Each structure stands twice: as C-alpha cells, then as structure tokens.
Amino acid sequence: MSRCSNVGKEERVNVNMGDDDDLIKSCSCSFCLKAAYIWSDLHYQDIKGRLSALKKSQKVASGLIQRNDKEKQPTGFHSLVNSVGAAKLESDLMAQWRSLFLGMGDILAHESNHLQNSFMTMKDLREDCKIDLERATKTPQHNT
C-alpha cells in the first residue's frame, strides 16, 4: 500500500490544521481508508477495555458493600470491650465508607453508560471504515 494519493511528495499533512484535516477526512484512497480503519479499531479496542475495567470496578465496589453488610459484628465480648464512643465512631466511619462506595458505584455506572454509547458509535464507525476499505480494495475481508 502506498502513500495517500492526495498528498504530494513535498507536501506534509498536518492534522492540526483545518484545511489539511478536511483533506484527510474527505480522502477515499486505500491508504487513508486503511488508516481510518486502524484508527477506529484502536479506539474500539480501547473503549472495550475501559468498559471491561469499569464493570470489574463496579463489581468490586458492590462486593465490598455487600461484604460489609454481611460482616456486621455480633454483640458479645468485642462489643463489651469497646466503649460507647468507640462504637459510635466506628458506626459513623462505616456509614461514611458505605456512602463513599455507593457514590463511587453511581459514578462508575454513569461512566459505563457514557462509554457504552461511545462503544456503539465507534463500533458503527469501525464497520463503516471496514466496508469502505473493502470497496476501495475490492477484496472482501472476513469479520474478525
């Protein structure tokens, strides 16, 4: 595969410049289509990885909250040894901890929804780039 057919040998494409950016976006040579497909695939894989990490973080936060709820200390010797002030402090800290993790769970859910929308958009863009590349090169590629 050779260089972009719209860029001469002496010309440099600067993606930070508006005119050159329009040139790149409108180019349909096989070089630019391949670059667009690779770019979209990298972003697709990145978003997919981020979604996976977010889901894992949500699961861990949820597990910590559930574990805390299940591990309530039974009343007994330990409770008798602790003073009333220490028990109140422990209760307050546990409530703050629980609130923190519930808030974090909400933030992770919001970020996950945002990434899911980006993921679907990038999936469509990636597929469009692949179809355009196949049309330009006239060699159908199998889904991977």
CB of 126 closer than 8 Å to CB of 37: yes
Phi/psi-derived region of residue 76, left when phi > 0, alpha when psi is between -120 and 50, beta in every other case: left
Among 35, 39, 37, CA closest to 3: 35
Q: Which residues contact 90 (CB under 8 A, 6 or more apart)?
A: 82
Q: What is the pTM of this model?
A: 0.63
Report the pLDDT value the prediction gives residue 18, as an integer from 0 to 100: 46
Q: What is the pLDDT along the chain (144 residues), one digit of tens a residue?
A: 567 766 654 445 444 444 444 544 678 788 888 888 999 999 999 999 999 999 998 888 888 778 877 766 555 545 555 577 787 888 888 888 888 888 888 898 899 999 999 999 999 999 999 998 888 887 555 655
